[in-house]
Structure 1
Amino acid sequence: MQEDFLHYVWQHQYFDKADLRTGQGEALVVLRPGYRNADAGPDFLSARLQLGEVEWNGAVEIHLRASDWQRHGHHTDARYDQVVLHVVYAADAPVHRLDGSEVPVLALGARLAPTLLTAYDQLMRGPAPDLLPCAAALPTVPVLTRLMMVERVLLERVAEKAAGVQLLHEQTGADWETTAWQLLAAGFGFKKNTEPLARLARALPLSVLRRHRHDQRQTEALLLGQAGLLPADAPDEYCAGLRREYDFLAHKYALAATALPAHSWNFLRLRPANFPPVRLAQLAALLHRLPRLFQPLLDAPDVATLEKLLLAPVGEYWRRHYRPGVAAAGAVPGLGRSSAHLLISNVVVPLRVAYAQSVGDQAGVEAAVELLTQLPREQSSVLAPYEALQFVHRSAADSQGLLALRQGYCQPRRCLHCAIGSRILQPPLSPAAR
């Protein structure tokens, strides 16, 4: 059993309260369990309790064993002098405040229903998280509870991504155009090369790219050269021209010191169409097409418009080559719609949410999240268990919500913080309460 479980039990008052008494024999009535404290100090604040004939307002501290009070050093911490009740699973020792006064204790071990303990044990020790800890009990959970939880974690995921965009915005000196550039560049890494592409975006100022965006070949030279992917001994004339162009521009703008080494990039277990040079050529085409990045991404009214913006055609050379000097057997696939959809999910939506939050535009936040409902659901093996258990999975909004549920709750077994887990642990209503 984890202490977090006792926090949950106390917060929801899921224990037998008949003839409730402290370990000292004093009658106890819980008028208000208090509010969970997320900072240092006692676990619950502003609790209201009646001990005997006296009503107390103060804090509640929770431990598995009463002796944990001493082990955690609370007997020497003045913050715990406000504790009016010590809630434990087992009362194995008396505890005292700094002034020596004994803290009333409530032992819950004998007051927890066996069905509650069994349900909790099944969640914590059940099948591997990939199979969902709650799989066996899930049929007892209403569909509405599942839908509400997936929607909740979707908003949590979007808010977390938007917070990352806000941080990037601060780091760029509150420049939304540079924020959009760095975010979009990282997005073109599609996980395997996200980190080196983010570094490349920082090493190649947008101000430099803007001066040469009218020439797609020069944009390619800047991106590929600064990425360290243009060898000095160029394998063909096109790459030799790119190298000469890059050398000139790197000298002009003092770029060489921040250029990435070639070994920064991941090619292993990537399909050739996903190789970094191809992605950089696609990014160069997009920069060439859009004189500005931020406003078009912000103003696009729907997914179809965003697809047209993102699916810019690459230069002729990169339709036939995966790497400098390495010709493909056939045509090299361009940026596909599925990749564009990932960019919308992971770049455009968080960018728009962050901006809308910064200007206090709640309608803009909702419109940005709404874009996810226009995207098809993501095909992912990690979501298969949820589909097998009849979770609704119709759009990218559902995909993002289910991924957030898996990563934030199912895998770390945070069932006590999940609406689905809470429903499973909820005791049945008594006949009088029905």
Structure 2
Amino acid sequence: MKEDFLHYIWQHQYFDKTDLQTEEGETITVLRPGHRNSDAGPDFLDARLQIGEVEWNGPVEIHLRASDWLRHQHQTDKKYDQVILHVVYTADKNIERTNGSLIPALALAPRIDLALVHAYVNLVEQESATLLPCAVLLPQVPMITRTMMVERALLERVEQKADAVAALHEQLGADWEATAYHTLAAGFGFKKNTEPLARLAKALPLSVVRRHRHEARQLEALVFGQAGFLAETEATAADEYVQELRREYEFLRHKYQLAAAALPAHEWNFLRLRPANFPTVRLAQLVAVLHARPVLFSPLLTAPDVRTLEHFFSAPVPTYWRGHYQPGRPGKVPALGRSSLHLLVANVAVPLRVAYARYVGQPELIESAVALLEHLPAEHNHLTELYEAVGFTHQSAADSQGLLALSRAYCQSRQCLRCSIGTRILQQNVVVG
């Protein structure tokens, strides 16, 4: 059993309150359990209790064993002197404040119905290999509860991405065009190379990109040079295109003092990637967008539909990169696929719009941004298939994003007590006095 379970029990008062007493025999009446504290300090704040003849207002601390108070070093922290009740599963020790006064304790072990404990154990404490711990119990959960939880997980995922964009916007001096550039660059990393592409955007400022956006060769030289792909190798020794880019880059890196920020080639991930997903190919596709689109933020913000955004991301790739996967290594390269275009919509356009909507205080823009996901086809992978197999709706990218968020934020980490589906299952086993 984890402490979170007792937090859940106390928050919802799922225990027998008949003849409720402290370990010292004083009567307890819970007038208000308080609210969860997400910061440092006691677990619940602003509780209201009557203990004996006295009414108390203050924090409540919760542990599996009373002795955990000492293990967590609360006996030396004056923040905990204000605790009015110590709620525990097992009261194995009397606990005192720093001034020596006894803290009233309530032991819940004999007051929680065993059926609820067993349901919790079956739901949360299964083997880690069980990716969806509630699968066999889902028939107990109405479809509306499942749907609303997936929608909640989706919105949390979108908000998290928007938080990252908002932080970037602040770092860049509240410049939305620069924010769009950095977000676009990271988006072309397609997960495996998101981090190095984000660092490349820092290594190659938008101010430099703007000055050379119209000259394709110079822009290619800047991007591939700062990415570390223009060093002379056996494969590129006789490659005229690479030699030309290297000459351009040598001049430009000195002009703008870029050398110190350049990335080494070994930081890019090629392992287990198909050639069409190589970072060199993605860089060429990013160059194409930067060359073809004089403005980034406004079109990403105002595009009326998915098709317009697909067009924005589908700029013609430099000729060399239609026939090379890496510098000096030829091979026919397919154009950016629709699934990749849709990932760019989901990971670039949507978070940018949500971050901007929050910045200007226009919640209707958030709804329209999320609606873009509803017009994208569903993604299919082993995780979404797992949820589909047990009856979850999966018809659009909004469903896909919601299911992935549900898996990563709740199911894989066994956060069932924070999930509406998990709490609904537990509620079927609640019997309180």
TM-score by length of 1: 0.94
Which residue of 283, 287, 296 maps to 2:286? 283
Structure 1 residues 40 and 430: alpha-carbon distance in aligned structure 2, compared to 1, 3 A threshold? closer
Q: CA deviation at 1:96?
A: 2.0
Structure 1 residues 46 and 231: alpha-carbon distance in aligned structure 2, compared to 1, 3 A threshold? closer
Q: Amino acid of the residue matched to residue 27 of structure 2? A: A
Q: Helix, strand or coil: the match of 2:50?
A: strand
Q: Which residue of 1 aligns with 2:418?
A: 417
* Rounded Cα–Cα distance in structure 1 between residues aligned with 2:225 and 2:212: 14
Aligned residues: 430
Greater CA drift, 377-386 or 257-266 = 257-266
Q: Which residue of 2 aligns with 1:96?
A: 96
Q: Amino acid of the residue matched to residue 102 of structure 1? A: L
* Rounded Cα–Cα distance in structure 1 between residues aligned with 2:162 and 2:129: 27
Structure 1 residues 318 and 80: alpha-carbon distance in aligned structure 2, compared to 1, 3 A threshold? closer
Q: Which residue of 1 aligns with 2:201?
A: 201
Q: Which residue of 1 aligns with 2:396?
A: 395
* Rounded Cα–Cα distance in structure 2 between residues aligned with 1:362 and 1:91: 49
Q: Which residue of 1 aligns with 2:328?
A: 325
Q: CA deviation at 1:39?
A: 2.0
Structure 1 residues 108 and 274: alpha-carbon distance in aligned structure 2, compared to 1, 3 A threshold? same
Q: Helix, strand or coil: the match of 2:29?
A: strand
Q: Which residue of 2 aligns with 1:217?
A: 217
Structure 1 residues 276 and 16: alpha-carbon distance in aligned structure 2, compared to 1, 3 A threshold? same
User: Does structure 2 retain, via aligned residues, the 8 Å contact 1:65–1:92?
Assistant: yes
User: Does structure 1 retain, via aligned residues, the 8 Å contact 2:14–2:430?
Assistant: no
Q: CA deviation at 1:397?
A: 1.1
Q: CA deviation at 1:203?
A: 1.2
Matches within 5 A, 1:275-424: 275-328=278-331, 331-424=332-425
Q: Helix, strand or coil: the match of 2:84?
A: strand
User: Does structure 1 retain, via aligned residues, the 8 Å contact 2:14–2:432?
Assistant: no
Q: Amino acid of the residue matched to residue 57 of structure 1? A: N
Structure 1 residues 127 and 394: alpha-carbon distance in aligned structure 2, compared to 1, 3 A threshold? farther
Q: CA deviation at 1:2?
A: 1.1
* Rounded Cα–Cα distance in structure 2 between residues aligned with 1:145 and 1:281: 45
Q: CA deviation at 1:256?
A: 2.7
Q: CA deviation at 1:252?
A: 2.7
Q: Which residue of 2 aligns with 1:239?
A: 242
Q: Amino acid of the residue matched to residue 13 of structure 1? A: Q
Unaligned stretches of 5+ residues in structure 1: none
Q: Helix, strand or coil: the match of 2:161?
A: helix
Q: Amino acid of the residue matched to residue 78 of structure 1? A: K
Structure 1 residues 235 and 123: alpha-carbon distance in aligned structure 2, compared to 1, 3 A threshold? farther
User: Does structure 2 retain, via aligned residues, the 8 Å contact 1:133–1:410?
Assistant: yes
Q: CA deviation at 1:423?
A: 0.8
Cα shift readout 1:48-98 (whole Å, capped 9, x = no counterpart)? 122233322222111111222333333343322322222111112222223
Q: Which residue of 1 aligns with 2:5?
A: 5
Q: CA deviation at 1:239?
A: 2.5
User: Does structure 1 retain, via aligned residues, the 8 Å contact 2:16–2:432?
Assistant: no
Q: CA deviation at 1:325?
A: 2.3
Q: CA deviation at 1:223?
A: 1.1
Q: CA deviation at 1:427?
A: 4.4
Which structure is richer in relative contact order (CA contacts within 8 A, separation 6 or more)? 2
Q: Helix, strand or coil: the match of 1:94?
A: coil
Q: Amino acid of the residue matched to residue 356 of structure 1? A: A
Structure 1 residues 430 and 8: alpha-carbon distance in aligned structure 2, compared to 1, 3 A threshold? closer
Q: Helix, strand or coil: the match of 2:92?
A: coil
* Rounded Cα–Cα distance in structure 2 between residues aligned with 1:164 and 1:363: 20
* Rounded Cα–Cα distance in structure 1 between residues aligned with 2:199 and 2:57: 54
User: Does structure 2 retain, via aligned residues, the 8 Å contact 1:129–1:410?
Assistant: no
Q: Which residue of 2 aligns with 1:150?
A: 150
Q: Which residue of 2 aligns with 1:255?
A: 258
User: Does structure 2 retain, via aligned residues, the 8 Å contact 1:311–1:336?
Assistant: no
Structure 1 residues 90 and 376: alpha-carbon distance in aligned structure 2, compared to 1, 3 A threshold? same
Structure 1 residues 130 and 348: alpha-carbon distance in aligned structure 2, compared to 1, 3 A threshold? farther
User: Does structure 1 retain, via aligned residues, the 8 Å contact 2:313–2:341?
Assistant: yes
Greater CA drift, 179-188 or 41-50 = 41-50
Q: Helix, strand or coil: the match of 2:49?
A: strand
Q: Amino acid of the residue matched to residue 295 of structure 1? A: S
Aligned-residue sequence identity (percent) comes to: 66
Which residue of 269, 273, 287 maps to 2:272? 269
Greater CA drift, 252-261 or 289-298 = 252-261
